[in-house]
Amino acid sequence: MQPEDNAGVPAPGDPRRPSTSTGTGTGATRPTLLFVAQPIEAGVPHHVRDLIPAALDDGWRVEVACPPVSVLWSAAGAHPGVARHPISAARAPSPADARSLARLLPLVERADVVHGHSAKAGLLVRLAAKLTGRTDRCVFTPHGWSFWAYPAFRPVERVAARWATAIVAVSAHERDAGLDAGVGRRDQFVVIPNGIDLGRFSPGPNPIPDTEHLVMVGRLAAQRRHEVLLDAVARLRQDGRRPNITLELVGDGPRRHELEAQAAALGITDAVTFAGDRPATEVAGRLRRAACVVHSTHYEGASIGVLEALACGRPVVASAVGGMDELVVAGVTGELCPGGDSAAWASAIDRVLTGDRRHVMGAAARQRAEQRFSVDTMRAATLGLYRRILTQRSEAAQPAVDLGR
């Protein structure tokens, strides 16, 4: 059996009993906030991790449902009093989803606000909200629409949107893509960009190196399209434009052996480092060692990895997809590249590494992160949404007043 913290429904008088209060201030019984996230690594669990301490400071009783192998499980456990509940780590549809749903039903029923993150957890949470009559307190953040990868999920998202009171999009593009697909109503959507800890991800004391070292942080999966980067690096080395260019891939995943074989076939094994999964504490340092950060994704809502690079003051060459143009300003903080055109990627990387462009773009990248993508801004907007949901539920519960008497 998987470990579980405080997963049972609290008895009357238990301090974990769900609140009926709508306040989060001193003197009010603390309302319960439930976070649910299925991904075990990368941006989604880190996003929820950043919300937990702010919610606790704001007066919420926090519970987290996630796979025990997720980085979020250990992060949540670092906060005394945060209850953790295990759910399946399976990414594809699985019989284990039924067990996860059964575990979520009592959690959703007793929570004052529940926030599901990503496609799998978001669908299970919304279904639990529907089954328990709690759709008025359910929030969903897709972190990239499921139908971008699997078009067959479009009708599923259309139905499940009815079971949430709010849909948080991490970019205007993500919101518009949902509406264009017939998912939800415009008044359901709230755009809250991802936020970065500007202190932890900072340029540091060292300037951008004069090497030709590229870094990409991301899971080695089909979505990230690493093969385009490998081909671009091979082009730059073999045509003599950047004979000393190197690439470091931070992250692991199902395509590692395939990508290693591609690097060998291209003759660039000595130029590519497969660093594997690294602790979160190492990521900022690896970004700072880059002359340029690259992100060759096939689809994206708003990449946290790109935001971390901007905050570290590094220029970014990224795919011109999703909300990426809301993060990277082409020609100012980096470059945007079309699709899988490795020749275009090679040219864009070469432009950024020419002359002092990397330094000028890096400074502009840090400034943009400070102005638009602070974690404090993200936290304040998200907690404000939760408070509005509590207030609206409280007002709806008040008895009607007959003004005709």
Domains and CATH numbers, the chain: 32-195+374-394 (3.40.50.2000), 213-372 (3.40.50.2000)
Question: Cα 69–73–74 angle (5° rounding)?
Answer: 100
Give the model's pLDDT for residue 277.
87
Average pLDDT of span 270-280: 91
Total number of residues shown for the chain: 405
**Would you place residue 4 in the very low, low, confident or very high pLDDT band (cuts 50, 70, 90)?**
very low
> What is the enclosing helix (H) or strand (E) of 328?
none
**Would you place residue 189 in the very low, low, confident or very high pLDDT band (cuts 50, 70, 90)?**
very high
Give the model's pLDDT for residue 28.
54
On whether the CB atoms of residues 216 and 297 are closer than 8 A, the answer is no
CA distance 370 to 364: 10
Helix ranges restricted to H, 209-331: 226-238, 256-266, 280-288, 304-311
Nearest CA to 287 out of 162, 200, 221, 374 is that of 200
**Whole-number percent of the chain with pLDDT over 90:** 70
Q: Is the dihedral of CA 49, 282, 194, 97 positive or negative?
A: negative
CA distance 55 to 32: 10
> What is the enclosing helix (H) or strand (E) of 291?
none
Question: What amino acid occupies position 268?
Answer: I
Could you report the per-residue pLDDT of 281-303, keeping only the tens digit for each? 899 999 999 999 999 988 776 78
CA distance 145 to 180: 12
Average pLDDT of span 277-282: 84
If DSSP codes are grouped into helix, strand and coil, which group holds residue 251?
Answer: strand
Pairing mode of beta strands 138-141, 113-117: parallel
If DSSP codes are grouped into helix, strand and coil, which group holds residue 191?
Answer: strand
Give the model's pLDDT for residue 82.
95
CA distance 28 to 157: 36
Q: Which two tokens stand for residue 293?
A: 């950060």
> What is the enclosing helix (H) or strand (E) of 103?
helix 96-110
CA-atom Rg of the chain in angstroms: 22
Supply the DSSP string of 381-403, one letter for each residue.
HHHHHHHHHHHHHHHHHSPP--T
Q: Which has more confidence, 266 or 27? A: 266
DSSP state, 203?
A: -
Average pLDDT of span 337-355: 94
Give the model's pLDDT for residue 144.
86
Residue 261, classified by CB atoms within 10 Å of its CB into exposed (0-12), middle (13-18) or buried (19+), is exposed
Helix ranges restricted to H, 113-248: 119-132, 146-149, 154-160, 172-180, 226-238
Q: Which two tokens stand for residue 317?
A: 């060459």
Give the model's pLDDT for residue 90.
77
Supply the DSSP string of 17-66, one letter for each residue.
SPP-----STTSPPPEEEEEE---SSHHHHHHHHHHHHHHHTT-EEEEEE
Could you report the per-residue pLDDT of 82-139, keeping only the tens digit for each? 999 998 877 777 888 899 999 999 999 999 999 999 988 999 999 999 999 999 999 9
Give the model's pLDDT for residue 68.
93
Give the model's pLDDT for residue 397.
54
Q: Which two tokens stand for residue 84?
A: 């953790």
- Asked whether residue 255 carries a pLDDT value surpassing 50, the answer given is yes
CA distance 53 to 378: 13
Nearest 5°: phi and psi at 42?
A: 70, -150
**Would you place residue 218 in the very low, low, confident or very high pLDDT band (cuts 50, 70, 90)?**
confident
End-to-end alpha carbon distance in the chain = 60
- Asked whether residue 259 carries a pLDDT value surpassing 90, the answer given is yes
Count each helix (H run) and each strand (E run) in the chain, helices first: 14, 13
Could you report the per-residue pLDDT of 379-390, keeping only the tens digit for each? 999 999 999 999
- Asked whether residue 362 carries a pLDDT value surpassing 50, the answer given is yes
Q: What is the pTM of this model?
A: 0.78
CA distance 311 to 284: 9
Give the model's pLDDT for residue 11.
34
Nearest CA to 311 out of 336, 323, 335, 328 is that of 328
